[in-house]
């Protein structure tokens, strides 16, 4: 079991951040390697997705589901996710909490990931690094959308590079 915890500042109010977190089109644009993210017609709050991952030794296409659990609008929810692909099976759970901060929002994510199959053999350290990298990339992209710096595609990539450059200047 791999545990992850991260905090992300958003220059947007909680209602804007929440709105994006519930918008499948916005999410699909922000999730690295997302090929599709569609509502599951059989279960409310569950989505079917296809994800192509290409990070170091963690490569492959996964088909799976993501379920939103216990949503408290503008405050928090939990996610349950599972994906299967040739590299193996990945399961995860996460809690997402939004904290208002004047006209901004602090988003906190705490979760755990479990891998089985060939992907589990590459080692927890590599899987943890890949998961953290994907999570950081997703939230940098979502920040860009929430803050009006990008909407999709190339603009998201440019905004993400700008965020990485600014973060490097802080060191």
What confidence tier does 127 reach under pLDDT thresholds 50, 70, 90?
A: confident
Contact yes or no for 81/74 (Cβ under 8 A): no
Can you tell me the distance from the alpha carbon of 126 to that of 52, in angstroms, rounded to the nearest whole number?
A: 17
Per-residue pLDDT, averaged over 94-119, amounts to 93
| pLDDT at residue 161, rounded to an integer | 58
Question: Is residue 38 scored above 70 in pLDDT?
Answer: yes
| pLDDT at residue 158, rounded to an integer | 59
* Residue 158: strand pairing partners: none
pTM reported for the whole predicted model: 0.83
Beta carbons within 8 Å of 79's beta carbon, 6+ residues apart: 66, 67, 68, 69, 92, 93, 94, 95, 96, 111
Question: Is residue 96 scored above 80 in pLDDT?
Answer: yes
Per-residue pLDDT, averaged over 132-153, amounts to 86
């Amino acid at each position: 079991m791999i545990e992850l915890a991260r905090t992300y500042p958003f220059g947007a109010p909680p209602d804007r951040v929440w709105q994006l977190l519930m918008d499948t089109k916005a999410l699909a644009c922000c999730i690295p390697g997302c090929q599709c993210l569609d509502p599951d017609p059989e279960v409310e709050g569950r989505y079917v997705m296809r994800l192509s991952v290409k990070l170091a030794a963690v490569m492959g296409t996964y088909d799976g589901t993501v379920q939103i659990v216990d949503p408290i609008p503008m405050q928090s929810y939990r996610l349950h996710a599972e994906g299967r692909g040739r590299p193996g099976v990945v399961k995860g759970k996460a809690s997402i909490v939004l904290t208002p901060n004047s006209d901004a929002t602090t988003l906190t994510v705490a979760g755990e990931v479990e891998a089985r199959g060939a992907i589990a053999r590459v080692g927890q350290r590599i899987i943890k690094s890949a998961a953290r990298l994907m999570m950081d990339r997703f939230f940098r992209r979502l920040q860009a959308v929430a803050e009006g710096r990008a909407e999709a595609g190339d603009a998201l990539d440019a905004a993400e590079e700008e965020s990485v450059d600014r973060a490097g200047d802080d060191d």
